[in-house]
Chain A
Amino acid sequence: MSGSHPRSPMLAMGGGPTTSSSIPFDVRAFAHGATGSHRDELGLAEYQTRALPPDTLRNLQHLRHLESATMRYLRQVLVTPTHKDARITAFLTTWAFEKYWMADGLAAILEHHGWSPNSTQAQTPAPPADRWRRLQDRFAPIGRSLVDNAVGDDIIAVHMAVGAIDEWIMHAAYRRVAELDDHPRLRRTVATFVEIKTRHLEFFEAEARERLAGSQRARRLTRSRLPRASWPPHARRRPGSADAGFFGHLFAATPVVVNQLDRQIRTLPGLESLALVRATVAASTMPRRSTPTTAGRHRSTPFPYRSDT
């Protein structure tokens, strides 16, 4: 931005103040600093001397799949009043762009190892029994749209909270994946991605805190809308999804991380009773389909909440 021209400085686009920081997130500056393709900086040659093991590659497939879910998120969000907030849509435009290129970077690492960027599960065509679910999924935004438009601006708080929680969990997931196989090159790429994602988190977190703190209705709505049983939310709506169980398995051996994440999530106003990550781990370590004789399969969860809303 040239300093000499008459337009008021970037702060004009900065939007309202947030409670978590005295400096509002500058969406315009964020858009200006966006990071595109990573392909030239992945150092793929370094994987020739030491390749990533299959477990890590599988994890990268999951991360790639989750990073590419931006249009699915936008599809849910844009049919609600959230789309009217030009500051949020401006943010989401650049957010989707940066995530696209992170997914692309992960795809490049996978392809370099001769792996498909998609997990095998993701590639399997939906079984016939799943067709009805797919149909439901298609219609979902309609019902959503009617309900969420009636709810009004408070729905924005839900979307921002989902964004913040997803960032927290994804950050931890990236770190865990890098840690499991201490590969210096992967570590560096992960560090780059986490840095980019930190800006995403800053926006979502500030928005979520401000909106939740400012409205009891927003807190109530967010509490009722957030899944309690597993993350990511879309994996629960579509059992058999490639993403189901990923976080749970990843964090199963690190209760410290699980507690840390849940503590973080509980700092959001109104979400003090949530134990989302613990539930996610529990859901993934439980047998997926318990036999009918196992009475009250969901209630057998050793945690004090129901697994569905």
Chain B
Amino acid sequence: MAFDIERFATKSERVQWKDLSFDDFREKPLPPHTLRSLRYMCDVEYHTVCYLRDLLVTPAHEDEDVNTFFTIWNREEFWHGEALAEVLGWHGITVNFDALKAKRLKVGWKDRLDPVKQSVLGNVIGADFIATHMIWGAINEWSASAAYTRLADLEGHPALAELLRRIARQEARHVAFYATQARKRLEASKKARVVARFALRKAWAPVGSGVMPEDEVVHVMTHLFSGPDGMAEIRRIDEHVGRMPGLDGLTIVEDAMRARGVAA
């Protein structure tokens, strides 16, 4: 299944919410634990540009179609951040660029070395390391899609649920790009498969960990994925990963949940 990059770019629009009755939040505000999760998701969306950075230091940036995707994807994610900021705004929670900046500054040291490490690895192993970035991206997008769908189900608020489903639909298109790229690149190279398997087992962590405090990661994962239905979603992500060339049998997402005390 090829990913039609031109179609993706042409069809892309910023997620809409003007038609949704957010006024309902006045009568029925969202509970604090949901707002806490939304705040996390909102921040992660705005931080997409930091993931973009890690992708751009690899040789992947030499491909025009890949650059097209990055451009459109990064903008769609920014608007996910804007949409969630709007919901939070109705609850008196202001997300501004200064606060986001403060968070990025706090990440500090580790963050500084990250592009260096990534770039060295990426260039030493060459094009084969792109596959790792692509499967990583696919897992992030599967996770995002699962998270939004879960929250839409958990929180019966109709306007919120509709917004989250709209966002999830865009996440699904992001999945399609990353998964197509990952499959193609993993199929093409044994080295790519070995590196990806190693990197995922060694270093995979839920989207947002590293940027967000661990307490927040645990809160969101527990809120969205504990219980049998939540864990079923998690296992579905692992199954997607397992169907990729060279990645069968990995249970990295479930392992990451268990490590954070998220129980079925």
Contacts and interface: CB of A to CB of B under 8 A. Distances in A.
Given A31-B78, A37-B10, A141-B119, A90 B97 contact: yes
Nearest to B17: A2
A96 B14 CA distance: 14
Contacts of A7: 85-86, 89-90, 94
Nearest to B91: A6
A308 B23 CA distance: 60
Interface stretch (B55-63, B151-159, B189-197, B232-240): B55-63
Given A6-B90, A100-B71, A92 B49 contact: yes
Nearest to B70: A71
A93 B49 contact: yes
Contacts of A142: 57, 115-116, 119-120
A78 B68 CA distance: 17
Contact of A86 (B68, B82, B86, B97): B97
Interface string B88-129: 011010101110110011000000100110011001000000
Interface of A, secondary structure class, is helix
A101 to B, nearest CB: 9
A6 B74 contact: no
B64 A68 contact: yes
B101 A100 contact: no
A109 B61 CA distance: 25
A190 B119 CA distance: 38
B173 interface: no
Interface size on B, as a range, is 35 or more
Interface in A46-73: 68, 70-72
B72 A78 contact: no
Contacts of A139: 119, 123
A146 interface: yes
Q: Report which residue of B104, B105, B119 has the largest number of chain A beta carbons within 10 angstroms of its beta carbon.
A: B119
B225 to A, nearest CB: 28
A74 B50 CA distance: 11
A83 B70 contact: no
B115 A138 contact: no
A71 B86 contact: no
Contacts of A28: 82
Interface residues of A, number: 44
A92 B68 CA distance: 15
B52 interface: yes
B255 to A, nearest CB: 30
A145 B50 CA distance: 14
Interface in B34-81: 46, 49-50, 52-53, 56-57, 59, 61, 64, 67-68, 70-72, 74-75, 78-79
B168 to A, nearest CB: 21
Interface stretch (A8-16, A157-165, A235-243, A256-264): A8-16
B28 interface: no
B49 A138 contact: no
B101 A74 contact: no
A8 B120 contact: no
A20 interface: no
A280 interface: no
A75 to B, nearest CB: 4
B97 A5 contact: no
Contacts of A74: 52-53, 56
Contacts of B56: 71, 74-75, 78
A75 B57 contact: yes
Contacts of B67: 68, 70-71
A280 to B, nearest CB: 26
A5 B49 CA distance: 28
Given A13-B97, A100-B9, A89 B49 contact: yes
A145 B112 CA distance: 8
Q: Report which residue of A68, A100, A104 has the largest number of chain B beta carbons within 10 angstroms of its beta carbon.
A: A100
A13 B72 contact: no
Nearest to A134: B62
B258 to A, nearest CB: 33
Interface string A287-304: 000000000000000000
A2 B18 contact: yes
B97 A84 contact: no
A268 interface: no
B197 to A, nearest CB: 24
Interface string A92-108: 11101100100010000
A252 interface: no
Given A37-B10, A86-B97, A145-B115, A6 B89 contact: yes
Given A5-B90, A68-B64, A141-B119, A97 B53 contact: no
10 contacts: A6-B89, A6-B90, A6-B92, A75-B61, A78-B49, A86-B100, A100-B72, A104-B9, A139-B123, A149-B112
Given A79-B53, A86-B100, 13 more contacts: A7-B85, A13-B97, A31-B78, A71-B56, A85-B101, A86-B97, A86-B104, A90-B78, A90-B97, A92-B49, A93-B75, A94-B75, A145-B112
Q: Which 4 A-B pairs have the closest CB atoms?
A: A7-B89, A86-B100, A78-B53, A84-B104
